[in-house]
Structure 1
Amino acid sequence: MPRPYRADFESALRMFARVSRALSAQGYEAPVLVGGGAVELYSTGAISTGDFDIVTARQSAFEAVLQDHGFVRPSGPGVATRGWIHPEFRLGFEVVSSTLLDGMADRQRVEMIDLGQDGSASIISLEDMIADRMGQFASGTAPDMLGQARALYALHSDMDRAYLARRIVEETAGDFSIEDLEGDSL
């Protein structure tokens, strides 16, 4: 793995690969990293996150594997997380859905990142990640997501533009298009 990533992120990604391998060994489909963790990966660390959002249809099994790997669920006064924390790095893990982008993302486009002896990590496709950010921006509740979508778009010229264009229209109910990633307006 290249070194532009901060140590906690790399440790969390490697742990995610080990947890994924253990879950797959139980016969379950590998969980998928989405959200800020995927953005940090695709932005090569230019945009950082505080947690790993995970999609898995087997939340109970996934959380049991997290516990087997040393994760704990924070508790006590002032703790509002629904996720799990590992004492070796400062990133939480949280299951956010049982289906990838509510079934709108093409599961065949999920990227596999080989992390050597730690195993592999499944990551939402770049195109679906950008479309998700555009959808969150379009909802009016997350204005900063446009900047993330534009940053990812600018960093990657090798993406499937036709798929991205379709996914942006789907995620934004037709309010935005791929052209909105290219300009400074909005």
Structure 2
Amino acid sequence: MSADFDVVAGNDDAFARAMRAAGFLDDEMAIHGKGGWYHPAHPQFGVEQVSGDFFDGRAARSRCLRLTVKRDAAVVLPSVEDMIADRLGQHEIAAGDPSMLQQALALFRLSEGLDLDYLHRRITEEGGNPAHLRLS
């Protein structure tokens, strides 16, 4: 696993204030990449603020899952189809690293009710190979 969480935040300053308030520190040594944060209690895991539009504007925001963690707070996660497509695209970029393919396969096997047409399209858009999932 990559051991980091990618976050898309619309307001850089607000995101930085929230991370500091939660006890996170700037990753000054860039262990986890540019724009990274880590929590001293769990330094092996990073949080990276990624830039750009959500999956370069190709993913459907309407497919996101809103996970309520408290009455007034939620985390919005990409659809599992978008996560699978991202991992397969990363697998093609990181040739020889099987971890991305393993992550995509695990997500695919654990998921129910996938929209296979959307998944196939997204894998192709991310530069991945649908044949890894036996999708034609």
> Does 2:82 correspond to 1:128?
yes
Q: Aligned Cα RMSD in Å?
A: 2.3
- Map of 1:70 onto structure 2: 23
Report 1 or 2 for greater relative contact order, CA contacts < 8 Å, sequence distance ≥ 6.
Answer: 1
For structure 1, the residue ranges without an aligned partner over 5 or more in a row are 1-47
- Map of 2:13 onto structure 1: 60
Provide the identity percentage.
38
- Map of 1:80 onto structure 2: 30
Total equivalences in the alignment:
130
Structure 1 residues 85 and 139, CA, compared in 2 at 3 Å: closer, same or farther? closer
TM-score between both structures, scaled by the size of structure 1: 0.61
Q: Provide runs of 4+ in structure 1 moved above 4 Å.
A: none
CA contact (8 A) 1:57 1:97 kept: no
Q: Deviations over 1:12-64 (max 9, x none)?
A: xxxxxxxxxxxxxxxxxxxxxxxxxxxxxxxxxxxx55221111232232112
Q: Tell me how far 1:156 sits from its aligned partner.
A: 0.8
The match for 2:114 among 159, 163, 166 is 159
For structure 2, the residue ranges without an aligned partner over 5 or more in a row are none
Superposed, 1:14-163 pairs within 5 Å as 50-75=3-28, 79-81=29-31, 82=34, 83-90=36-43, 91-117=45-71, 119-141=73-95, 143-144=97-98, 145-163=100-118
Q: Deviations over 1:82-141 (max 9, x none)?
A: 311223434321102232111111111111112134721011110001001111122244
Task: State the SS of the aligned residue for 1:97.
Answer: coil
TM-score between both structures, scaled by the size of structure 2: 0.80
The code of the aligned residue for 1:80 comes to A
